[in-house]
Chains A and B, each alone.
Chain A
Amino acid sequence: MARDGVFSRWRRTDKFEGMSGLSPSDCHDVHVLAVDDSLVDRKVIERLLKITSCKVTAVDSGRRALQFLGLDEEKSSVGFDGLKVDLIITDYCMPGMTGYELLKKIKGSITFREVPVVIMSSENVLARIDSCLEEGAEDFIVKPVKLSDVERLKDYMFGEDPIQGEGKGVNKRKLREACEISSSPSSSPPSISSSSPLSSQSLSSTPSPRSSSPSSPSSLDSPTRRLKMTNCGT
């Protein structure tokens, strides 16, 4: 299937029905690293991510996650092109290394600190949410994880604010509003590439960065964002 440059790569096929001349995107490129010590939860999160068209690598511990990323012994970042990771989603409570500790290690790494990290937890503890967000987590999902939670994550891949207000991740937005946090977790502005889409059916160029974008709230007024607003709620 041709890659569609106008729309977010995350769109599910059913949203494109009736829109002539445009084909749904394949999203092969998006790679998520999921970390959870529970076998049941790993199976569920893997399915949730796959159904939203992500490639998934699921590991059972923070240690294994670091090994996968090549961070276990802080080796050089040369040659990690093949290990492009667009999002890391991790459980908080894990034996050995907690999700919080993993978060800190990732944010402390030059190679991977720009990768959005999302924390999952069965416990809705404000202090815990706060400390994770302070350490740079993109969002905090209260378990059990639902499809709507995972669909919301798509927004983090392209540096846009989540538009949907429902779901448990609203914690983060509420906290932001309450505390009037003006600074974003990441330091660099969103990188908007005007890479031309591959198919001849492409329309105007739009942001569709291949690498993980920083997550600062952006006021992109792109066709993608406008289209997202009309298509949100599903």
Chain B
Amino acid sequence: RHRSRREQAQIMEVGQLQRKFVDYTASLFCEGFLDAQFTQLQQLQDESNPDFVVEVVSLFFEDTEKLLNDLTRALDQQIVDFKKVDAHVHQLKGSSSSIGAQRVRNACIAFRNFCEEQNTDACSKCLQQVKQEYSLAKNKLDTLFRLEQQIAEAGGAVPM
């Protein structure tokens, strides 16, 4: 049937956004921000649970922000309780692994090694590294989710 100019423009827009989404997702995997576990989460999303990935990732953001605050405080103490620090990092390693945030997870692994050595300076540096990786991951994921939203708003389906 004959499509109006408006419809044609809309279809083109959706197509562009979808391509942008696919390319952006691919880059996140390429650059190691995301790993196979993220794909796993995407596969758990369907019509009955259309926001699953966003929901899990949001929980991850909340959880991580709290953990990073706890870690900052713990390393700021006169006498550092490395067991506590390690427990927090272990938790962060676990949750980042569960959502596929690969670089955050790897930063946590390095961090734990220094906890074992009870090296405060090195741990502080690791914390900075983890914070940086988290910040990057959050930006990337927020961008990804925004793209999804734009596609949906333009009336398209998100390619998974």
Contacts and interface: CB of A to CB of B under 8 A. Distances in A.
Contact of A38 (B41, B87, B94): B94
A103 B44 CA distance: 28
A47 B94 CA distance: 17
Contacts of A104: none
B18 interface: no
Contact of B94 (A43, A51, A143, A146): A143
Contacts of A93: 90
B98 A147 contact: no
Interface of B: 37, 40-41, 43-44, 49, 52, 55-56, 59-60, 63, 87, 90-91, 93-95, 97-100
Given A48-B44, A51-B44, A144 B63 contact: no
Interface string A33-65: 000001111011001100100000000000000
A39 B59 contact: yes
A40 B40 contact: no
Q: Is the interface of B mostly helix, strand, loop or mixed?
A: helix
Contacts of A165: none
B91 A144 contact: no
B95 A43 contact: no
A119 to B, nearest CB: 14
A41 B97 CA distance: 10
Contacts of B55: 43
Given A39-B63, A40-B56, A95 B94 contact: no
